[in-house]
Chains A and B, each alone.
Chain A
């Protein structure tokens, strides 16, 4: 389903050229759970960004169902993200001016899921994540754990083919983080969603189908 071939990415900074990714190649099947493991600065986020078309590799390519998504124009990349990908970031994932329900609604609206189906999905997701009754709450009123659960709910609301999560448990305590990741793996397996999580949390590795370790932008 997703195949990376010799993906490389460099950044230019005051310190010169920094190789963020170098010759990364692997493939992930539909519904698989993958953890990208590595220390801070190992290239996990850059790799997630490239898979999610938020960034473009300097060389190599990424195939999604046989299509090279690195070669898509900006409009097609935007549509790819909208329909096929869900994102969960480390923190501050929610749009602060929208309520919890509206944050979920936005993702569904972008994918033309409206009316009863929209209401059904929002209700079901809030139920699954134990946040029923939070529909009208504003993000600022939520704890870090609640915010992150809503972010996950928004990421899978439109049932994307790929869910990309960048250090999703970084702002949570280990117990809450583990529970959340377990729930995510379970939901994604049931939905056939490919889950790729970037994390340095060793406790989570056992949950993944595949662990890809990164060090200084290379697979180790």
Chain B
């Protein structure tokens, strides 16, 4: 049994979801959208996650990034921790694939960062 707040509309119904071997049952929802939301949240909640990725040799210290598709909620925090250890090299164009498989998910840049030549 799991209790949750419906996020499908501003009403925010309090949902109770339960399951046996064969089906997932939902109560507390006031509409059909709420049922679908509850089943999705109960079985596999997914979110589109956004991150900052550190940049090497760029005009900005970080580039903003987004997952290519909604990813499983349980992957988001591990992915963010992993990204803290990784770099990408400038230049970066908006829409460029930064990592093709970070925990199996594609990460795409949502801003552009120019390259800064270093003269030493």
Partners in one complex: no
